[in-house]
Amino acid sequence: MELNGKQKRYLRSLAVTMKPIVQIGKAGLSNEILTSIRTACDARELIKVNILQNSDEVALDVAAAIEEMGLDVVQIIGRNLVVFKVSDKKENRKISVDVKALVK
Protein backbone atom coordinates (compact mmCIF):
# COMPACT_ATOMS: atom_id res chain seq x y z
CA MET A 1 0.00 0.00 0.00
CA GLU A 2 1.49 3.32 -1.05
CA LEU A 3 1.11 5.83 1.77
CA ASN A 4 0.64 9.56 1.29
CA GLY A 5 1.99 12.23 3.63
CA LYS A 6 -1.14 12.53 5.74
CA GLN A 7 -1.25 8.78 6.32
CA LYS A 8 2.44 8.68 7.29
CA ARG A 9 1.95 11.54 9.76
CA TYR A 10 -0.94 9.67 11.37
CA LEU A 11 1.11 6.47 11.68
CA ARG A 12 4.10 8.35 13.11
CA SER A 13 1.86 9.95 15.73
CA LEU A 14 0.64 6.50 16.80
CA ALA A 15 4.20 5.15 16.94
CA VAL A 16 5.53 7.82 19.30
CA THR A 17 4.40 6.03 22.44
CA MET A 18 5.12 2.49 21.21
CA LYS A 19 7.95 0.36 22.49
CA PRO A 20 10.03 -1.64 19.99
CA ILE A 21 8.59 -5.09 19.28
CA VAL A 22 11.56 -6.51 17.37
CA GLN A 23 15.22 -5.90 18.20
CA ILE A 24 18.12 -6.60 15.86
CA GLY A 25 21.28 -7.57 17.75
CA LYS A 26 24.83 -8.58 16.96
CA ALA A 27 23.68 -11.58 14.88
CA GLY A 28 22.37 -9.09 12.35
CA LEU A 29 19.36 -9.30 10.09
CA SER A 30 18.49 -12.95 9.63
CA ASN A 31 15.55 -14.76 8.07
CA GLU A 32 14.15 -15.44 11.54
CA ILE A 33 14.09 -11.73 12.36
CA LEU A 34 12.45 -10.91 9.02
CA THR A 35 9.84 -13.59 9.72
CA SER A 36 9.17 -12.19 13.18
CA ILE A 37 8.77 -8.69 11.71
CA ARG A 38 6.22 -10.02 9.21
CA THR A 39 4.22 -11.95 11.85
CA ALA A 40 4.27 -8.99 14.25
CA CYS A 41 2.95 -6.74 11.47
CA ASP A 42 0.18 -9.23 10.71
CA ALA A 43 -0.85 -9.20 14.36
CA ARG A 44 -0.48 -5.46 15.10
CA GLU A 45 -0.20 -3.66 11.71
CA LEU A 46 2.16 -1.03 13.15
CA ILE A 47 5.40 -1.96 14.91
CA LYS A 48 8.70 -0.45 15.92
CA VAL A 49 11.99 -2.18 15.11
CA ASN A 50 15.10 -1.30 17.12
CA ILE A 51 18.67 -1.92 15.95
CA LEU A 52 20.80 -2.44 19.05
CA GLN A 53 24.13 -0.68 19.55
CA ASN A 54 26.16 -3.88 19.21
CA SER A 55 24.73 -4.60 15.75
CA ASP A 56 26.65 -3.82 12.57
CA GLU A 57 23.42 -3.28 10.61
CA VAL A 58 22.60 0.11 9.10
CA ALA A 59 19.04 1.39 9.37
CA LEU A 60 18.75 2.11 5.63
CA ASP A 61 19.84 -1.44 4.74
CA VAL A 62 17.34 -2.91 7.19
CA ALA A 63 14.61 -0.66 5.77
CA ALA A 64 15.42 -1.85 2.23
CA ALA A 65 15.19 -5.49 3.31
CA ILE A 66 11.86 -4.86 5.03
CA GLU A 67 10.43 -3.06 2.01
CA GLU A 68 11.44 -5.99 -0.21
CA MET A 69 9.03 -8.13 1.83
CA GLY A 70 6.15 -5.81 0.92
CA LEU A 71 6.02 -3.88 4.18
CA ASP A 72 6.04 -0.07 4.42
CA VAL A 73 8.75 1.68 6.42
CA VAL A 74 7.00 4.80 7.67
CA GLN A 75 9.88 6.43 9.51
CA ILE A 76 13.55 5.98 10.36
CA ILE A 77 14.93 7.82 13.37
CA GLY A 78 18.48 6.88 14.27
CA ARG A 79 18.39 3.14 14.91
CA ASN A 80 14.59 2.85 15.17
CA LEU A 81 12.23 2.02 12.30
CA VAL A 82 8.46 2.28 12.21
CA VAL A 83 6.94 -0.43 10.00
CA PHE A 84 3.33 -0.70 8.74
CA LYS A 85 1.45 -3.41 6.90
CA VAL A 86 -2.26 -3.98 6.46
CA SER A 87 -3.07 -7.20 8.31
CA ASP A 88 -4.11 -10.25 6.33
CA LYS A 89 -6.58 -11.17 9.08
CA LYS A 90 -9.74 -9.11 9.14
CA GLU A 91 -10.06 -9.16 12.93
CA ASN A 92 -6.62 -7.50 13.29
CA ARG A 93 -7.40 -4.55 11.02
CA LYS A 94 -7.81 -1.63 13.37
CA ILE A 95 -5.23 0.93 12.30
CA SER A 96 -5.56 0.31 8.56
CA VAL A 97 -9.25 1.30 8.63
CA ASP A 98 -8.29 4.75 9.94
CA VAL A 99 -5.38 5.00 7.48
CA LYS A 100 -7.62 4.24 4.50
CA ALA A 101 -10.06 6.91 5.68
CA LEU A 102 -7.30 9.54 5.34
CA VAL A 103 -7.05 9.10 1.55
CA LYS A 104 -8.19 12.13 -0.40
The correct answer on CATH 3.10.20.80 for the domain covering 5-98 is no
Question: How far is CA 33 from each of CA 11, 25, 26, 50, 63, rounded to the nearest angstrom?
Answer: 22, 10, 12, 12, 13
Helices (H), the chain: 5-15, 31-44, 59-68, 95-101
Question: Can you give the pLDDT at residue 103?
Answer: 80
The mean pLDDT value for 65-88 works out to 94
Q: Is the pLDDT of residue 18 over 80?
A: yes
Tell me: the pLDDT tens digits for 25-66?
999 999 999 999 999 999 999 999 999 999 999 999 999 999
Contact indicator for 12, 63 with CB cutoff of 8 Å: no
In this prediction, residue 104 has a pLDDT band, given cuts at 50, 70 and 90, of low
